[in-house]
Amino acid sequence: MNKEQKLITNEVVKEKLATIYRDEGRRIYATLIRSLGDFELAEEALHDAFSAALSKWQSQGIPEKPANWLVSTGRFQAIDQLRRQHRHREIVAQLANESSTKVEISDEFALSNSVDDELISDDQLRLIFTCCHPAIDIKVQVALTLREVCGLTTQEIASAFLTSASTMAQRIVRGKQKIRDANIPFQLPSTEQLHSRVDAVLSVIYLVYNEGYSASFGDSVTRTELTVEAIRLARLLQSLVADTEITGLLALMLLNGSRHNARTNKDGDIIILAEQDRSLWDQALIQEGIALVQSATAKSEYGFYTIQAAIAAVHAQASDANNTDWEQILAWYSLLLHVAPSPVIELNRTVAVAMHHGPEAALVLVEQLLQQKVMQKYHLCYATYAEFLTRVGRKKEARAALEHALTLTKQIPEQRILKRKLAAL
């Protein structure tokens, strides 16, 4: 193999590892946590495994099951580290027994088959339920799961909760300490316990999807790997637990996801709902989502996620913005506010108010929302305010609101659309 050929091979391996890390890295990490029983040790094992792959795959080829190879290699590396440090002897003996130590690390293709595919598939859900254990404070549960299971950064999680990164970092540390000190097992709860933890798990999946649907930071509007993972986890959860809100959340994600191809143009710029080419919407996802909404709303009780899915279903069935049943959407939003009072939901409701009753009525509501400190940090509140100000002809104030919104958003496509609106004024 000459130098040029080796360089090409190196690039192929690097590209493959980057793809695996993006698409399967958190699943591999979750499996290592279950296997090793320790967050820090699992994280170090994950990085060791990818480092080993970078050197070995270049000379020996990419295994048939790369994720399995990485899990096995990471676990072997961790066991070796524990042995070298002469600690946790009982854990070492147990892990060595489970890992079939007759397999050598150099045998990539044997390693790739030494881990059960189904176990890896379910390990993220196991870890979510561990992080959502009732012994852990609910605020800590969600933050810890988003960080450890889904790989969101502390800043991204803080943005989702409209709080500071330092506050969120403290929650995550407390969560890890609680799992360690209380010896909380990395496993799915019993059937009886599953229902008591579903709400927290749904919160996590919902926030993961939201971050994927509209990224808090960066050059892209969406993070597809997060939306795909959230839908996968919801389907898996639905197979384990009969719960109306699981159905509602899955429907919501499918209906919102159906608009993916119409949400941005070729340059990655945002296209708002009213201006989207609805022929690009995924009709298969829409039909599946609507069927799930009908199933969920047929039940005697449903809540937060199902109501949002019902709103998304009304949008999905409309030919355009003007022919949308805004009265029905307004009614659903009023019910949603009753079920889960929130200033963000109030803000979303103002759009329906503007379409049904006119921008003047919506403007009053947004001005009231801007009296709340939490909304003074939310760029979409100022962007919405600017939209209604523009509609009633108050352009100078609209410009000021857009300029302030620009200072609050860290997503580049959102910055571009705000700048275009400013230019239009």
Give domain limits for the chain.
Answer: 3-115, 117-182+195-265+278-294, 325-425
| pLDDT surpassing 50 at residue 32 | yes
pLDDT at 94 over 70: no
Q: Give 303's pLDDT tier (boundaries 50, 70, 90).
A: very high
pLDDT band per the 50, 70, 90 thresholds, residue 136: confident
Q: How many CB atoms lie within 10 A of CB 131?
A: 30
- Tell which residue, 212, 266, 277, has the closest CA to residue 411: 212
Is the pLDDT at 134 greater than 50? The verdict is yes
Task: Please give the model's pTM, rounded to 2 decimal places.
Answer: 0.73
pLDDT band (50, 70, 90) for residue 301: confident
Question: What is d(CA 316, CA 296) in angstroms, rounded to the nearest whole number?
Answer: 17
Contact predicate 302/350, CB 8 Å: no
Distances (CA, A) of 372 to 55, 91, 375: 54, 51, 6
Could you tell me the CATH superfamily of domain 325-425? Tetratricopeptide repeat domain (1.25.40.10)
Residue 137: is its pLDDT beyond 90? no
Q: For residues 186-203, b (16+ Cβ closer than 10 Å) or e, as one string?
A: bebbeeeebeebbebbbb
Query: What distance in Å separates the CA atoms of residue 340 and residue 303, rounded to the nearest whole number?
Result: 9
For residue 141, the model assigns a pLDDT of 85
pLDDT tens-digit profile of 391-418? 999 999 999 999 999 999 888 888 999 9
- Which tokens go with 291? 């069927």
Q: Is the pLDDT of residue 110 over 70?
A: no
Rounded average pLDDT over 35-46: 87
Residue 14's closest CA among 54, 48, 47, 52?
A: 54
The Cα 381–Cα 342 span in angstroms is 13
Chain position carrying tokens 């600690």: 87
The model's confidence at residue 38, banded by pLDDT at 50, 70 and 90, is confident
Dihedral, CA of residue 142, residue 144, residue 148 and residue 152, to nearest 10: 60
More confident residue, 253 or 139: 253
The answer to which of 90-99, 171-180, 294-303, 361-370 has the lowest mean pLDDT is 90-99
How far apart CA 374 and CA 346 sit, in angstroms, is 13
Q: How far apart are CA 258 and CA 246, in angstroms?
A: 18
